[in-house]
Amino acid sequence: MSLQDIKNSIRNVPDFPKQGIQFKDITTAIKQPKILKETLEMMAEHYKNQQIDYVVGVESRGFIFGAALAYMLGCGFIPVRKKGKLPAEVLSQEYSLEYGTDKIEIHKDALNKGDKVLMVDDLLATGGTTQATVELIKKTSADIIGFAFMIELDDLNGRAILNKTAEVFSLIHY
């Protein structure tokens, strides 16, 4: 199993959700047991010697990789959700979308000062979503020690902004 095999398992859907977007569909990858296993093992390998307390995953595809990675690294998983979904007291962060704004939230008591956090999502594009999560996590005073993605769209250079906070690791590049 090579990185090329993993790349070949990702389906490209042109013009979804709108004209001009090349959507990287991971469902064709993660339905294959060997691809799912290898992808997660390669991601976990990168962090095996780092002391991570929590993996934070962003709704919703960040949950798929985030929870599995947390299990493999022997740490806890914390969800960041779209507004109004978390039941207890939350911290919120507004962020810009192409049209208007949206909000992401984390439970107020989910992280404490000094906790070491790895952030995980399926794909890094502009970095806007992840940077909003960085701002959210900063409100908790936890330490972000890295960003892990299955896929990175290099041309959009999302890593430029994230690199200011911590190391960016992506398995597959386009």
- Cβ nearer to ligand AMP, comparing 96 with 141: 96
* Chosen residue from 105, 158, 171, 172 binding ligand AMP by CB under 6 A: 158
| Contact criterion met (CB below 8 Å) for 100 and 128 | no
Catalytic residue among 59, 61, 135, 167: 61
Catalytic residue among 98, 135, 152, 159: 98
Q: Does 146 bind ligand AMP (CB under 6 A)?
A: no
Contacts 24+ apart (CB under 8 A), 43-49: 43/69, 43/120, 43/148, 43/150, 43/169, 43/171, 44/69, 44/72, 44/73, 46/148, 46/169, 47/73, 47/118, 47/146, 47/148, 48/73
Residue 93 has a CB neighbour count (10 Å cut-off) of 20
Our answer to whether residue 159 is catalytic in this structure is no
- Cβ nearer to ligand AMP, comparing 88 with 97: 97
Q: In DSSP terms, which residues pair with 13 in a beta bridge?
A: 23
User: Can you tell me whether residue 105 is helix, strand or coil?
Assistant: strand
Our answer to whether residue 61 is catalytic in this structure is yes
Please report how close the Cβ of residue 138 comes to ligand AMP at its closest, in angstroms: 17
- State both tokens at 169: 């690791």
* Chosen residue from 64, 124, 145, 172 binding ligand AMP by CB under 6 A: 124
Rounded to an integer, what distance in angstroms lies between the CA atom of residue 92 and that of residue 54?
Answer: 19
Please report how close the Cβ of residue 109 comes to ligand AMP at its closest, in angstroms: 25
**Do the bridges between strand 54-58 and strand 22-25 make them parallel or antiparallel, or are there none, so unpaired?**
unpaired
Q: Does 23 bind ligand AMP (CB under 6 A)?
A: yes
Please report how close the Cβ of residue 156 comes to ligand AMP at its closest, in angstroms: 7
| Contact criterion met (CB below 8 Å) for 139 and 169 | no
* Chosen residue from 52, 80, 125, 136 binding ligand AMP by CB under 6 A: 125
* Chosen residue from 8, 22, 27, 163 binding ligand AMP by CB under 6 A: 22
Catalytic residue numbers read 61, 98
* Footprint of ligand AMP (CB under 6 A): 21-24, 61, 121-130, 158
